[in-house]
Amino acid sequence: MTSSTVADYIEDVSPGSGALPPRARYASPDTKSLSLNGSWRLRVSATADAEDDSFAEEDYDAGEWAEVTVPGHWVLQGHGSPIYTNHLYPFPVDPPRVPTENPTGDHLRTFALPSEWPSDGGAVLRFDGVESCARVWLNGTDLGEFKGSRLPHEFAVGHLLKPSGNVLAVRVHQWSAGSYLEDQDQWWLPGIFRDVTLLHRPPGSALDFFVHASYDHTGGEGTLRVDSDVDGRVTVPALDIDVATGESVTVPVRAWTAELPYLYDGLLTTEGERVPLRIGFRTVELSDGLIKVNGKAILFKGVNRHEWHPEKGRALDLETMREDVLLMKRHNINAVRTSHYPPHPDFLDLCDEYGLWVIDECDLETHGFTEQAWRDNPVDDDRWTPALLDRAARMVERDKNHPSIVIWSLGNEAGTGLGLTAMSEWIHARDDSRLVHYEGDIDCRDTDVYSRMYADHAEVERIGQGLDGGTHKRRQLPFILCEYAHAMGNGPGGLADYQRLFETYDRLQGGFVWEWIDHGIKDERYGFAYGGDFGEELHDGNFVCDGLLFPDRAPSPGLLEYKKVIEPVRITGDGADGTVRITNAYDFADLSALTFTWSYQVDGETVESGTLTVPSLAPGESADVKLPEPPTESDGAESQWTVRASLAADSAWGAAGHVIGWGQFPLTARPLPSVSAVAGPALAGRRISLGPATFDARTGELKTIGAIDVTGLRLDVWRAPTDNDDGASWQTDVRFGLLWRKFGLHRMRHRLDGVELSEDALTVRTRVAPAAWEIGFATVYRWTSDGSRLRLTVSVAPEGNWTFPLPRLGVRFGLDASADRVKWFGGGPGEGYPDTKSASLLGRWQSTVDDLQTPYVRPQENGARPDVRWAELGGLRIDGDPEFWFTARRWTTEELDAATHRTDLAPGGTVWVNLDHAQHGIGSQSCGPGPLPQYFLNARPTEFSYVFSESPETS
């Protein structure tokens, strides 16, 4: 058989045929448009040519077909299943061929033109996004076909339109030659997933135009020139501008920045229409080896954003997009990389309006070719270059008028090759007002920025110092981490350590956390589903859940940590000398939008607060500000200052009072709990009593404290490994999660060596060790009491050769399931681990046991509250000597470890409490480096104590 089947275009490397040249996206109030979103008819076939194209004919009866919502993906609407792979192509790699099994969705809808639809001029049919290849017919006429899933395609259709009974038929193939260019780490989700719109094009309408609006920071003047395909006039009333298209005008203006996103309303008027413009004046340049905007080097505090909705996939509505932008602004994020494709265009309008620096990335990734040493990589094969250039042009032309976009990115993880060079050259020639980025270009031949992903702290520091070498060109360039801090599961750890580097070395211009949101799919079976949950033969499991937001957009602890780490106001100092240092860490804004408050806590309780007068510092400036006199004597209790910076008034994205940054400063230290060992242990039958407690006389096991039953108190070194503990399979560094399991930390045995009663103490000697290995801990529990309170001192001495750090070190025990309300004085309100606790605020907190849990999509260690002085739960009060990490949950660590989805976790009859003396760091090894050595929990002789007493309040 020759290859002349109906579906030849599917495997054609060319971008398609029939579509109009790409152009800017805009809407004019003067011109009619008709949304073709809504309910369409759908027929899904298993192969591309199972059905002929008669469905496109005008009298076709699709009454028996299913219905599908457009925008949408048919696999999320009950037809077939989504597939998740990170970089492996879910089909044989034989470019540009695709499998015969090629799910194909025939989409059909009819429409009538609104009665006021003008009879003059033409019309354009626009598709904003279809995955991965579509062929389009209107009223039986074949308009053409296209690829480039997250890019717009328009067809001229004016001559085909009828007042009513128009039949629009779209055949969508899941796989095409284009799929080879779209191997991003995400779900494969076929469908018409962005808007379909019919646009009237009056005679003399604007076609395409390019707004050039630069800013000269030396004189405070902006220069505007609008190049338009169709001549017209440009007016900006607020600036008294009225010029012809193509003509430059320079006037004093307010600049646009992500911090102060000042937009001017303008109008482009051609003979046929008026086009509203939102103009932001700013100049992006590479100067002194730095990315500068308006003459100032900027620091990206960014995230990578995939488009995601747990039910709708990549079919996002405006409100969801706005929610993303508002959440970013409220968490101090100032930049987005649109990984790894141009987003829905409305998202960029929001970035202009609310203020975010944008790296707009092209819809291009060929990562799967890495499995064959990049052989046959389309980006290094001239036959594909037209498709690559088409993608570059469709991105740049659509998005060029957005002031928020400061950098174009060629794509992601596509190796290197002449196709990328061609894209870079084309983009530079078309738009010299922005920079070009591509991470895979390690020598920076085609790029203006040296960019890497997941480099560890030490390497980033060397780069900052300029000691990293590289080509001559690269050495002159600024550096960004286009991805770092892999936010998969619990984590990422080490954010604060990266931020310190970014703020120390000029060359380091910040980074973009990977990534914004978990791509979990809402699913009755699992809560949220991930890779493998749909029976995929190849998949990458929960690697698709690695965001700062949970799939339902609830912020994860990682986002709160990031917010704190990148706060644009630094509040530092030493409470003892009565002053705090306030530093403005914005690049452009002064502090006039903020108010400052102080509060004073004794024992974690705020006793007084007030406002703090802080000068409106310019960016980079600091001031030392005097705190008031401490309002009360602390009477020997722990006391501290808390200073907060918050919005003085409602802003576009946050309400007055929204906290931007804070600092805490200890004044008087906490007195450690002391218990004088006056009550001795007494043996009575099978029980030993000691103060308020009873123990099993044979095993020395704690049984009760007053009226409270306690079960299973013992040393615990195991935590349910986090994704970052387990690390990624390709990591060459040691992965502790695997070592912990190998050495049996999840199955430690507790040998009883002796129960000793002395005059003032009950001592229980044990050895805690895993089967098969010589390593272990000589563990001694020493119990004393003053009659009402009970003190436990745990001494742990490692035995054997411990060559790796421990997950945790502390005790665990069970309480009755009625234990629910929790109060504590310590870090909160959310979880924190050694390298993720910058956002942990010292204070008094309350919760329920259920609310202490962080619902990671794949269950894993979570919920520890750090720096806890005391905690109350189930009628018990626990005072730490020293402070401890507090965790309580309705399942055991073993159950947490065994669970693969949230729905696997069911409350049992016991509340399990962990009081940890120490925890191992979290790091980011699920894709990047593990925890820094200073966050290791190394096995060494250790002693720590807890004082237990009854507390009526939470009983």
Binding site for ligand GAL (CB under 6 A): 86, 184-185, 340, 412-413, 453, 483, 486, 514, 543, 546, 927
Q: Is the dihedral of CA 311, 312, 318, 324 positive or negative?
A: positive
What is the separation of C-alpha 188 from the centre of its chain, rounded to a whole number of angstroms? Answer: 20
Q: How many Cα atoms within 13 Å fall on the side-chain side of residue 321? A: 20
Please state, in angstroms and as integers, the Cα–Cα distance from residue 644 to each residue in 560, 580, 592, 651, following that order: 15, 11, 15, 18
List CB contacts of 888: < 8 A, sequence separation 6 or more: 819, 822, 849, 852, 863, 873, 911, 912, 913, 914
DSSP line for 19-83: PPPP------TTS-EEE--EEEEEEEEEETTSS-GGGGSTT---TTSEEEEESS-GGGTTSS--E
Minimum distance from residue 440 beta carbon to ligand GAL (Å)? 9
Rounded Cα gap, residues 632 and 606, in angstroms: 11
Please state, in angstroms and as integers, the Cα–Cα distance from residue 756 to each residue in 153, 636, 683, 715, following that order: 81, 36, 11, 18
Please pick, among 182, 273, 483, 872, the residue that the annotation labels catalytic.
483
Rounded Cα gap, residues 295 and 18, in angstroms: 44
Which residue, 91 or 543, is less far from ligand GAL as judged by CB?
543
Which residue, 402 or 486, is less far from ligand GAL as judged by CB?
486
Minimum distance from residue 132 beta carbon to ligand GAL (Å)? 18
Q: What are phi and psi of 506, to 5 degrees?
A: -55, -40
Minimum distance from residue 484 beta carbon to ligand GAL (Å)? 10
Do 339 and 358 form a contact (C-beta atoms < 8 A)? Answer: no
Which residue, 721 or 805, is less far from ligand GAL as judged by CB?
721
Which residue, 530 or 845, is less far from ligand GAL as judged by CB?
530
What is the separation of C-alpha 261 from the centre of its chain, rounded to a whole number of angstroms? Answer: 23
Nearest Cα residue to 111 out of 25, 172, 33, 173 = 33
Which residue, 841 or 927, is less far from ligand GAL as judged by CB?
927
| Unique residue bearing structure tokens 């922005």 | 434
Please pick, among 154, 413, 638, 831, the residue that the annotation labels catalytic.
413
Vertex 672 angle, CA 670 and 677, to 5°? 160
Rounded Cα gap, residues 669 and 603, in angstroms: 10
Rounded Cα gap, residues 947 and 682, in angstroms: 19
Which residue, 340 or 719, is less far from ligand GAL as judged by CB?
340
Minimum distance from residue 919 beta carbon to ligand GAL (Å)? 24
| Residue type present at position 755 | V
Minimum distance from residue 38 beta carbon to ligand GAL (Å)? 32
For residue 611, is it left (φ>0), alpha (ψ between -120 and 50) or beta?
beta
Which residue, 214 or 412, is less far from ligand GAL as judged by CB?
412
Helix (H, G, I), strand (E, B) or coil at 329: helix
Minimum distance from residue 133 beta carbon to ligand GAL (Å)? 22
425 catalytic? Reply is no
DSSP line for 631-676: SS--TTS-EEEEEEEEESS--SSS-TT-EEEEEEEEEEPPPPP---
Minimum distance from residue 408 beta carbon to ligand GAL (Å)? 17
For residue 788, is it left (φ>0), alpha (ψ between -120 and 50) or beta?
alpha
Nearest Cα residue to 350 out of 323, 331, 332, 330 = 323
Which residue, 80 or 532, is less far from ligand GAL as judged by CB?
532
Which residue, 413 or 831, is less far from ligand GAL as judged by CB?
413
**Residues paired with 888 in a beta bridge:** 913
Q: Which residue is nearest to ligand GAL (CB)?
A: 185
Which residue, 331 or 340, is less far from ligand GAL as judged by CB?
340
Minimum distance from residue 486 beta carbon to ligand GAL (Å)? 6
Rounded Cα gap, residues 193 and 131, in angstroms: 7
Which residue, 495 or 947, is less far from ligand GAL as judged by CB?
495
Alpha helix segments (H runs only) across 287-354 = 318-330, 345-354
Rounded Cα gap, residues 573 and 689, in angstroms: 49
| Unique residue bearing structure tokens 């039910």 | 311
Nearest Cα residue to 904 out of 832, 856, 851, 848 = 856
413 catalytic? Reply is yes
Minimum distance from residue 131 beta carbon to ligand GAL (Å)? 17
The two three-digit tokens of residue 718, written as one number? 């195991």
List, by residue number, the catalytic residues. Answer: 413, 483
